[in-house]
Amino acid sequence: MPTYVTLLSWTDQGVQNYKDTAQRAEAFGAVVQKLGAKLLSIYWTVGPYDLVAIVEAPDDETATAALLQLGGVGNVRSTTLRAFGPEAMERVIAKAAG
């Protein structure tokens, strides 16, 4: 399944509700699973982003649906990157090489 790296920043609402962040992460994992995807890991970070989530989803539409549901709650804003593991990158290189 494709992998997505999501960089998350708390909104004002998210910061005010920081005590619930672990429970919100669990809820996000449940939503992702219900959509047919998987939350592989989530990290709370120091720096320009407050959290980093690694998600596997069957396609871009599923990943986007999960992130829309997450953003719709109002606690975070996200920036998502499509990630390629070593095997996927080998396939990309093979296509590029012709």
Q: pLDDT grade, residue 38 (50/70/90)? A: very high
pLDDT given for residue 15 in this prediction? 96
Query: Which amino acid appears at position 2 of this protein?
Result: P
pLDDT digits (tens, 9 = 90+) for 4-25: 999 999 999 999 999 999 999 9
Inter-residue contact 42 to 52 (CB < 8 Å): yes
Q: Map out the domains of the chain as residue ranges.
A: 3-97
How many CA atoms does the CB half-sphere of 35 hold within 13 Å?
25
**Which CATH code of 2.60.120.10, 3.20.20.100, 3.30.70.920, 3.40.50.2020 fits the domain covering 3-97?**
3.30.70.920
What is the average per-residue pLDDT within 38-64?
97
Average confidence score pLDDT of the chain: 96
Query: Is residue 98 over pLDDT 90?
Result: no
